[in-house]
Amino acid sequence: MCCENCEGKVDTTSMINDLERRLAESKAQQVHQYHFASVNLNNAGDHNQGGAVIISITALGGKVIVDPVAIKNGLGSETIEALQADLLRSYNDAIQFKPKGA
């Protein structure tokens, strides 16, 4: 049985989609991702004049909180600073439990 909602039937497409979502979530939570996100976040800023960045927010488990939306001319410096602070907070939460002796 694939899940508690199934009666022995496996929907291959939904199972693949679920596994891909879980893989993406696992990759996103790896500690080194915070470094790359922090370094690259400034690329979403003011130098996008005349363009846009597309943002969306999805919770763990796949629930879409904010559908994709275009932010014209890039993110503002205040938004980037706030996201940098959230990345740092989340990084610190991720490394809270360290091996003995570290």
Per-residue model confidence as pLDDT tens digits over 13-50: 989 999 999 999 999 889 999 999 999 998 888 777 78
55 torsion bin: left (phi>0), alpha (psi -120 to 50), beta (else): beta
Closest CA to 41 of 80, 68, 78: 80
pLDDT value for 28: 87
Burial of 75 (0-12, 13-18, 19+ CB in 10 A): buried
What CA–CA distance (Å, rounded) separates 66 from 87? 19
Query: How many separate domains does the chain show?
Result: 1
At 1, is the pLDDT very low, low, confident or very high (cuts 50, 70, 90)?
Answer: very low
Q: Is residue 89 part of a domain?
A: yes
d(CA 71, CA 33): 23
- Residue 64 phi/psi, 5° resolution? -80, 120
Domain contains 55: yes
Top-confidence range, 10-14, 51-55, 78-82, 93-97 = 78-82
Is residue 80 predicted with pLDDT exceeding 90?
yes
In a domain, 53, yes or no: yes
Q: Which domain holds residue 60?
A: 12-94
